[in-house]
Every structure is written in structure tokens, then in C-alpha cells.
């Protein structure tokens, strides 16, 4: 079966068409600047040239129409008709505590996703627009919702509750939810496969380090803790997000700088992380690393703080699980940055095989043989994971 995987944001839409038999990518693309002047479609059939088309897309329905035209187009199309697309898998950011697994999309499911909108006001409404547009243009094609939060729903209460009045949990469901769940699930399961061990027997820590970064503890195949919280702002230091801070800093800065809550939240989400720590140098880890190697003090400071935060979480999760068999690095930075992996493992006292540590794009154990905990690089593939979940539900 061919499955279309859609990740719909407020002004952009990423898609991949995946063959579920070979698990190969058939085509992928991106609609950018939806509803904004200068919108365009970037489309790449597997093995073909990237095509960029400037085309007006006033809303998500128009974007999805453009995407479907590209997929069925005469020149670079990859299917003859839309009937060849067996199902659509939608990435949904927040399922609250309503969804512990992926689900076929029905009217009730849409209402339940809507009820989580206030937990992810930027993301969930956009995800719902993508579903509505697909329903309009591909009526009769089964659709599945795959949630970023679902994998983390196995966390015990003591891991997901905050130390604030319980009343706010009861009234508003204020708790840790966690994100990047599809990636944490895919990478932890793959870690067991690579090690040739049973998933249910292992204690695994997954470090998903990208522009957005999160870490999770997976014990016996179930997530027991994760670093992102009610929102993706908590936890690790990220590209532009602060991660954990003393909550009183919000009040302190509000008074000192005469800032509103919205302005402070903007600073914590968009101007902090390695961008803020490097005194505005860059939020892109490639830039930060290049300058780090050249001895730029701002970037040395930013990268060291980033690494230490990861180390603290690895320590906490090792204690929480009573040990750790494997630590897996994934996502843009986790997969591509030998320097950061080296910095983190140096703290942990784990020796790396430096030749393996510089490999790219493959599953590889990078710790030396006999290491107490194994360290791996496992490339994530969230789209493939969504396609698999979708297939399982529509079969």
C-alpha cells in the first residue's frame, strides 16, 4: 500500500508518500508560506530532481490540492490516480491524555483533538486544518491520527505530575505530556533490534537532539519519563528554547525589563537556548559547532551548557530506571554531531570508538566493547513510523 504522511503546521505542510511493502520513500515535499505572499511548493520524487513551484496557496486546502497535483502530475508524478493512495497518516502534536495510541480518524476523534487545542494552540488547529482539507479532497480514503504525545502516556503519575496544587491538574489537566513520542518510540524499539535484544528486557535512554530537543527513559518497552512537559518548552536547552529554568526568573525579568507574560514567553521560546547562550551567535548547531572548534567563547559556553543539561537528564533517568543498558542519540544534532556525543560521553565516563562515532546515516554502536552502558546512534524516521502506525490501523 502507498501511504501519504502529512505534517501540517500553521503556514507550512510537509508530506511524504511511502510504500509500505518496501518501506521506501516514493516522493516527498513541502508547501511553504501557506496563506502568506510568496507561497511555494517544493517537491522531490525519489531519485528525481527537486522541483520548486511558486504558486498561490491561500489556505491548507489549496496547499493539499497542489501537493496532490504534484503527486499525480504528468511529468514528475508518482501515482496515476489518487486511488493508489491507500491511506493518510496525520501527525498530531497534542493528544492530551485522551490518546495513548494512534487512532482512525472519525468525527469523535476530531472533536477530541479539538478539545486539546488549548494545550497546543499553535499546532493542533493547524493539524486539524490538514485533516479537513484531506477529507474534502480525498473523500473515502481512510485517515489515521498519530500523536506526538501518545508514546509518553505510559508515564506513572509521579513522573507526570508537577509539584503545584493538584487542583490545577484536576481542573485543567496541567501535567507533563512530552513530545517527539513517535521518534522516541521508533528509536527505542530500533535500539533493541540493533542490539539483538528483547525490547521488553531493556532500559533505554533516547536523546532526541534537534532544534527542538527532548530525552526519554524507556523501561521494558514503555516510556517512564520524558523531559518536555505541558509544552515543548521544558527540559533540555534547545536551539532557541530555554528548557528548564527557575520559574521565578519570569517574574524577575518582568519587573526588571517591564515585560508582559507574552513577551517573556517569546524570549523563552524564540530567543533563548543556544541562540541566547551564545549571545545571539546562532540557533543552528552547525554554526555553533564550527565556531566552538575555532575557540569562539560564546559558542564554547553554549555547547558546554547544552551538553551538561543532557548529562543531567541521563543521570536522573539512569537513577529512575535503576540502570541503563543503552543510550541512543538521534535527530539532526544527535545523529550528526560527533563533538556533542563525545562531550556528553566524557562526562559519563563512557569510552567511544572514535571511528564509529564519525559514521553518519546508519545505526551504529559507538561505545567500545565491554562498556557498562552501550551508546548508539540511531537515525530517526518519524514519517516511516507514522506510515507503519497508519498501515496497522487500516489493514
E strand intervals along 271-322: none
- Number of neighbours of residue 112 by Cβ within 10 angstroms: 16
Burial 294-322 (b: 16+ CB within 10 A, else e): eebebbbbbbeebbebbbebbeebbebbe
Smallest gap from Cβ 284 to ligand ADP, in A, equals 4
Per CB under 6 A, the list member of 289, 325, 383, 389 interacting with ligand ADP is 289
| Choices 92-100, 150-158, 193-201, 282-290; region in contact with ligand ADP by CB under 6 A | 282-290
Burial of 127 (0-12, 13-18, 19+ CB in 10 A): buried
The reply on whether position 243 binds ligand ADP by CB under 6 A is no
Among all chains, which residue has been given the C-alpha cell 519587573? 255
Smallest gap from Cβ 349 to ligand ADP, in A, equals 24
The reply on whether position 210 binds ligand ADP by CB under 6 A is yes
| Choices 13-21, 120-128, 147-155, 330-338; region in contact with ligand ADP by CB under 6 A | 330-338
The reply on whether position 239 binds ligand ADP by CB under 6 A is yes
Smallest gap from Cβ 355 to ligand ADP, in A, equals 17
Q: Which is nearer to ligand ADP, 158 or 355 (CB)?
A: 355
Say whether 278 sits in a helix, a strand or coil: coil
Say whether 378 sits in a helix, a strand or coil: coil
Smallest gap from Cβ 307 to ligand ADP, in A, equals 13
Smallest gap from Cβ 158 to ligand ADP, in A, equals 28
DSSP state of 298: H
Among the listed residues 19, 59, 148, 287, the single catalytic one is 148
Q: 66 phi and psi, to 5 degrees?
A: -60, -45
Q: How far apart are CA 184 and CA 223, in angstroms?
A: 9
Per CB under 6 A, the list member of 333, 344, 377, 386 interacting with ligand ADP is 333
Q: What is the CA radius of gyration of the chain?
A: 21
Residue closest to ligand ADP when measured from CB atoms: 332
Smallest gap from Cβ 287 to ligand ADP, in A, equals 7
Active site annotation includes 107:
no
Smallest gap from Cβ 24 to ligand ADP, in A, equals 21
Per CB under 6 A, the list member of 9, 29, 232, 332 interacting with ligand ADP is 332
Per CB under 6 A, the list member of 133, 155, 331, 393 interacting with ligand ADP is 331
Per CB under 6 A, the list member of 188, 278, 336, 357 interacting with ligand ADP is 336
Q: How far apart are CA 330 and CA 206, in angstroms?
A: 7
Per CB under 6 A, the list member of 211, 269, 271, 296 interacting with ligand ADP is 211
| Choices 68-76, 135-143, 280-288, 347-355; region in contact with ligand ADP by CB under 6 A | 280-288
Q: Which is nearer to ligand ADP, 109 or 215 (CB)?
A: 215
Q: How far apart are CA 96 and CA 6, in angstroms?
A: 20
Residue 220 falls in which region: left (phi positive, over 0), alpha (psi -120 to 50) or beta: left
Q: How many residues bind ligand ADP, per CB under 6 A?
A: 13
- CA nearest to 148, candidates 91, 204, 105: 91
- What distances in angstroms separate CA 98 from CA 12, 29, 160, 328, one per listed residue? 26, 31, 15, 29
Q: How far apart are CA 215 and CA 266, in angstroms?
A: 23
Site string for ligand ADP, 30-69 (x = CB under 6 A): ----------------------------------------
CB 224 within 8 A of CB 155: yes
If residue 305 lies in a helix (H) or strand (E), which one and from where to where?
A: helix 297-321
Per CB under 6 A, the list member of 177, 285, 292, 329 interacting with ligand ADP is 285
The reply on whether position 284 binds ligand ADP by CB under 6 A is yes
| Choices 11-19, 104-112, 155-163, 328-336; region in contact with ligand ADP by CB under 6 A | 328-336
Smallest gap from Cβ 208 to ligand ADP, in A, equals 8
In terms of DSSP bridges, do strands 143-147 and 103-104 run parallel, antiparallel, or are they unpaired?
antiparallel
CB 18 within 8 A of CB 5: yes
- Applying the rule CB under 6 A, the residues between 106 and 135 that interact with ligand ADP are none
- CA nearest to 42, candidates 28, 56, 23: 28
Active-site residues: which are they?
Answer: 148
Residues at the site binding ligand ADP, with contacts judged by CB under 6 A: 210-212, 239, 284-286, 289, 331-333, 336-337
Amino acid at each position: 500500500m502507498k501511504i501519504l504522511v502529512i505534517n501540517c503546521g500553521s503556514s507550512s505542510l510537509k508530506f511524504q508518500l511511502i510504500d509500505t511493502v518496501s518501506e521506501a520513500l516514493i516522493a516527498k515535499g513541502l508547501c511553504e508560506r501557506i496563506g502568506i505572499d510568496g507561497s511555494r511548493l517544493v517537491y522531490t520524487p525519489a531519485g528525481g530532481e527537486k522541483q520548486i513551484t511558486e504558486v498561490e496557496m491561500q489556505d491548507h486546502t489549496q496547499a493539499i490540492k497542489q501537493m496532490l497535483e504534484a503527486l499525480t502530475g504528468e511529468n514528475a508524478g508518482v501515482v496515476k490516480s489518487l486511488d493508489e493512495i491507500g491511506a493518510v497518516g496525520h501527525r498530531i502534536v497534542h493528544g492530551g491524555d485522551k490518546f495513548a495510541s494512534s487512532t482512525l480518524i472519525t468525527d469523535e476523534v476530531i472533536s477530541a483533538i479539538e478539545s486539546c487545542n488549548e494545550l497546543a494552540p499553535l499546532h493542533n488547529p493547524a493539524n486539524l486544518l490538514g485533516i479537513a482539507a484531506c477529507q474534502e479532497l480525498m473523500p473515502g480514503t481512510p485517515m489515521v491520527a498519530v500523536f506526538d504525545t501518545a508514546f509518553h502516556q505510559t508515564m506513572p503519575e509521579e513522573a507526570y505530575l508537577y509539584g503545584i496544587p493538584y487542583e490545577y491538574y484536576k481542573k485543567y489537566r496541567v501535567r507533563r505530556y512530552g513530545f517527539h513520542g513517535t521518534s522516541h518510540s521508533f528509536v527505542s524499539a530500533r535500539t533493541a533490534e540493533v542490539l539483538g535484544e528483547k525490547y521488553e528486557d531493556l532500559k533505554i535512554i533516547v536523546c532526541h537532539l534537534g532544534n527542538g530537543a527532548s530525552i526519554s527513559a524507556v523501561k521494558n518497552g514503555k516510556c517512564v519519563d520524558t523531559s518536555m512537559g505541558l509544552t515543548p518548552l521544558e527540559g533540555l536547552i534547545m536551539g532557541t528554547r530555554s528548557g528548564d529554568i527557575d520559574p521565578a526568573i519570569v517574574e524577575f525579568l518582568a519587573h526588571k525589563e517591564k515585560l508582559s507574560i507574552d513577551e517573556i514567553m517569546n524570549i523563552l521560546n524564540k530567543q533563548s537556548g543556544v541562540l541566547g547562550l551564545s549571545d545571539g551567535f546562532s540557533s543552528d548547531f552547525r554554526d555553533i559547532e564550527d565556531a566552538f572548534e575555532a575557540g569562539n567563547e560564546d559558542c564554547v559556553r553554549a555547547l558546554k551548557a547544552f551538553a551538561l543539561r543532557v548529562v543531567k537528564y541521563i543521570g536522573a533517568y539512569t537513577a529512575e530506571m535503576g540502570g541503563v543498558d543503552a543510550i541512543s542519540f538521534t535527530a539532526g544534532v544527535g545523529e550528526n554531531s560527533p563533538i556533542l556525543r563525545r562531550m556528553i560521553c566524557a562526562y559519563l565516563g563512557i569510552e567511544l570508538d572514535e571511528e564509529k562515532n564519525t559514521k553518519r546515516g546508519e545505526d551504529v554502536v559507538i561505545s567500545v566493547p565491554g562498556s557498562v552502558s552501550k551508546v548508539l546512534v540511531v537515525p530517526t524516521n518519524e514519517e516511516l513510523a507514522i506510515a507503519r502506525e497508519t498501515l496497522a490501523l487500516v489493514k
